[in-house]
């Protein structure tokens, strides 16, 4: 999973990126690596994997990972090449979802690029740049479909939908807020590769006082939440400066620090949880002495396709999946006891994988 962190200059975007990638390096039993100065890999925290590691003492421990990309600060006119506009937009094309950092804090020492703190205006600034870029793409697609319509009346549905989509974009409505009426429209939308179609998490960067004092009375946070709700996006209240403090702590210190603040999870953990929910992702696990590992799949994936995540041969030669739920294995204490109690099931090609399934795939090629 690849997440792009975007935002206007001086909203706390790079502070948050540095905090969460450093936290991922410090707290996870996984070698952190920086691919480029603005790219970091973070292990997905998973207590189930830790428990399996205690059970099997594996030679290798491999959690799921998320790649975070700190995308260059955007300015007005990016869609026309202003600032680092073209680079900014090309980087967004490559990510699975956008973490849009919105400034919701006052600080006279940190100048806002627009001269004042206004989350609604800032969101519109970035959304409009994505929408302007999308409008060019939709217009090209519409021109092509209109020409094709002359020889193929089946194209009428696509033409009608692209016109409706264009009208929405012209009104400043992102593509993710446009509901397809049927499967044809859904297919057209999903093959347009639009920037404003990307799933979005609005990370409301708040002051420590506002973050701890109660987010539901914070007018700036509520303004962002209203926008997010209207377009099917997620909202995540966060304090980048607090995350910076948490990032360098040892696990025990971190737990105490969070507890003192009345928090159960760090910003990184909450961000990952929100991303999984937004993208409809779950994890299944493989376990044994050689390795315990988490594999990320889309909710609803069937066993053969899940096996294909490990190796294409597993999917091609799929015979069956031997499955036990994580909770059942923990109750039994080991795999032998789970088998004796009949809790290890043999599942076929139509089995839909569940979050926390521990699986051994049988295959033959």
CB-count exposure of residue 333 (10 Å: 0-12, 13-18, 19+): exposed
Residue 75 or 282, more confident? 282
Residue 113 has what pLDDT? Answer: 60
The pLDDT of residue 89 is above 90: no
- Dihedral, 34, 37, 43, 45 alpha carbons, nearest 10: 140
What is the mean predicted confidence (pLDDT) over 98-119? 78
Task: Tell which residue, 200, 220, 201, has the closest CA to residue 210.
Answer: 220
CA distance linking residue 317 with residue 265, whole number of Å: 41
Residue 38 has what pLDDT? Answer: 80
- Note the pLDDT tens digit of each residue in 130-151: 899 899 999 999 999 999 988 8
Residue 111 has what pLDDT? Answer: 59
Residue 210 or 319, more confident? 319
Q: Find residue 34's DSSP bridge partners.
A: 40
What is the mean predicted confidence (pLDDT) over 220-241? 92
Computed over its alpha carbons, how large is the radius of gyration of the chain? 23
Residue at token pair 């994580």 = 326
CA distance linking residue 127 with residue 195, whole number of Å: 9
Q: By 3-state DSSP, what share of the chain in percent is helix, strand and coil, each rounded to 5? A: 50, 20, 30
- Note the pLDDT tens digit of each residue in 35-47: 455 888 888 889 9
- Note the pLDDT tens digit of each residue in 272-320: 989 999 999 999 999 999 999 999 999 999 999 999 999 999 999 999 9
Task: Output the six-digit token pair for 183.
Answer: 């499967």
């Amino acid at each position: 999973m690849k997440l792009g962190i975007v935002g206007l200059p001086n909203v706390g975007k790079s502070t948050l990126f540095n905090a969460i990638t450093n936290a991922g390096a410090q707290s996870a039993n996984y070698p952190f690596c920086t691919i480029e100065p603005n790219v970091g890999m973070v292990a997905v925290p998973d207590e189930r994997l830790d428990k399996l590691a205690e059970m099997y003492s594996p030679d290798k421990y491999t959690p799921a990972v998320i790649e975070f990309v700190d995308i260059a600060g955007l300015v007005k006119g990016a869609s026309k090449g202003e600032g680092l506009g073209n680079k900014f937009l090309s980087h967004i094309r490559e990510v699975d979802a956008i973490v849009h950092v919105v400034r919701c804090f006052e600080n006279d020492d940190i100048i806002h690029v627009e001269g004042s703190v206004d989350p609604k205006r800032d969101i519109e600034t970035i959304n409009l740049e994505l929408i302007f870029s999308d409008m060019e793409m939709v217009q090209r697609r519409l021109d092509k479909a209109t020409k094709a319509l002359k020889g193929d009346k089946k194209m009428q549905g696509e033409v009608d939908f692209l016109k409706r989509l264009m009208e929405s974009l012209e009104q400043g409505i992102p593509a993710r807020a446009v509901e397809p009426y049927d499967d044809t429209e859904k297919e057209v939308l999903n093959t347009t590769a639009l920037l404003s179609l990307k799933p979005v998490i609005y990370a409301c960067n708040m002051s420590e006082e506002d973050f701890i004092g109660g987010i539901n009375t914070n007018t700036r946070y509520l303004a962002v939440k209203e926008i997010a709700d209207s377009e099917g996006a997620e909202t995540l209240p966060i304090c980048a400066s607090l995350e910076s403090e948490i990032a360098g702590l040892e696990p025990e210190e971190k737990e105490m620090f969070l507890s003192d603040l009345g928090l159960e999870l760090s910003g990184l953990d909450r961000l990952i949880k929100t991303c999984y929910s937004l993208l409809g992702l779950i994890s299944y696990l493989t376990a044994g002495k050689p390795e315990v590992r988490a594999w990320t799949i889309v909710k609803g994936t069937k066993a053969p396709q899940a096996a294909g995540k490990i190796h294409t041969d597993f999917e091609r030669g799929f015979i069956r999946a031997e499955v036990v739920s994580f909770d059942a294995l923990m109750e039994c204490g080991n795999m032998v006891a789970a088998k004796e109690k009949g809790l290890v099931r043999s599942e076929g090609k139509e089995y839909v994988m569940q979050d926390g399934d521990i699986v051994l795939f049988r295959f033959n090629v």
